[in-house]
Amino acid sequence: MKMPGRENLTVNSEDSGKRLDQFVSESLNISRSRAQKLVESGNVSLDGVAPKKNYRIREGEVINIEPMSDDSGILVPQDFEIKIVYEDATLVVIDKPPGLVMYPAAGHPDGTLMNALAHHCPNLASIGGPLRPGIVHRLDKDTSGLVVVALEDEAYYSLQQQFRERTIERRYLVLAYGRFRSSSGEIDKAIGRALSDRKKMSTRTRRGKEARTCYRVIKEFNGVSLVEARLATGRTHQIRVHFAFGGHPVLGDRTYGKKTSLLIGGRTVRIPRQMLHAQTLGFKHPADGAHMLFDSPIPDDMNEILNLLRNVS
């Protein structure tokens, strides 16, 4: 049977406790072996993480399924520069610039971070799918900052488990619209697929999943706040959705906020992309358990907006 388009399947009470591959097989009316191939290739994800085929699903979880590519599924190495901040035999940490897609998909067949990494690292993990081997988490195209990719299968499973146990440290810098009532706090609001648009996430949803974002205001400007956000959970578009819910959408976010320009010093300044930067990434090294912590400098486009704001404050 031909694989359908992208699916977002919500687990109900009757399916709770089933193996993931069984659920995919029954939901899509495809063979069990086809479902297992989808899972093993990384085309099936849960909260942005690719689970094992024998994972036991739970009620309320949203299983994201992307179709298998009709081509060879071969990741083509491409020679262009990516900023590697750490590398050893088991993993690599990359500082992703804004505008760079993580891995090939519909509309972005090449020119992605994984194409460049395949050129730099001929030996990648075998898990995660032929087009995204070793990917345990991702950043949106227009989000900049740190991402870790496993180069060995054991490292992949270790990092995946750390994400599931929420022991990965992830801190973001955000330029958000408006001023916050409190200088720090926590946004605790479940997130799920939007009722009106299944391509978007929302706090208004039938089956939301626990989502918590901690924040700290670093600096206030005229109508804009520089904020540090820490993910206590890892839902799709979590910071963008939570900040929009609180009335402080991320500047430049064309999906959830539409605050795409600012009046600074009497002139209108266009915001080129969502001002969201994955600044800090921390985890235990899969090989020896050593604590690894990395920080990324503020990217140029974000710094430019900040300098303009500082000059008129």
pLDDT digits (tens, 9 = 90+) for 23-36: 888 877 666 777 88
CATH number of the domain to which 22 belongs:
3.10.290.10
Asked if residue 2 belongs to a domain, the reply is no
User: Which of the following is catalytic: 15, 140, 253, 301?
Assistant: 140
Residue 173 lies in a domain: yes
Q: Does 209 lie in the same domain as 145?
A: no
Query: Do 206 and 305 belong together in one domain?
Result: yes
140 is an active site residue? yes
pTM of the model: 0.76
Same domain assignment for residues 202 and 110:
no
State which amino acid sits at residue 188: D
Instruction: Give the end of a domain, one of 164, 179, 197.
Output: 164
pLDDT of residue 31: 67
Tell me: the pLDDT tens digits for 148-205?
999 999 999 999 999 989 999 999 999 999 999 999 999 999 998 888 877 788 998 8
Average confidence (pLDDT) over 40-60: 83
Residue 24, SS3 per DSSP: helix
CB atoms closer than 10 angstroms to residue 99: 12
Domain end point (choices 112, 133, 164): 164
Are residue 190 and residue 302 in the same domain, yes or no? yes
Domain presence at residue 287:
no
Res. 16: pLDDT tops 80:
yes
Encode pLDDT of 87-130 as tens digits.
999 999 999 999 999 988 766 778 999 999 998 987 888 877 77
Task: Tell me the CATH number at 175.
Answer: 3.30.2350.10
Give the start-end residues of each E strand in the chain: 7-10, 44-46, 62-65, 83-87, 91-96, 144-150, 169-177, 184-188, 192-193, 201-202, 212-220, 224-231, 261-264, 267-270, 276-284, 291-295
Q: How many domains does the chain have?
A: 3
Average pLDDT over every residue of 265-288:
95
> For residues 139 and 157, what is the distance between their CA atoms, to the nearest angstrom?
19
151 lies in the same domain as 178: no
Give the rounded percent of residues in the chain with a pLDDT score beyond 90. Answer: 57
Residues in the chain: 313
- Other CB atoms within a 10 A radius of the CB of residue 290 amount to 9
Give residue-wise pLDDT tens across range 59-95.
888 888 876 654 446 678 888 899 999 999 999 999 9
Q: Return the closest-CA partner of residue 229 out of 292, 286, 187.
A: 187
- 195 and 238 together in one domain: yes
8-state DSSP, 195: S
Range of the domain at 27: 7-65
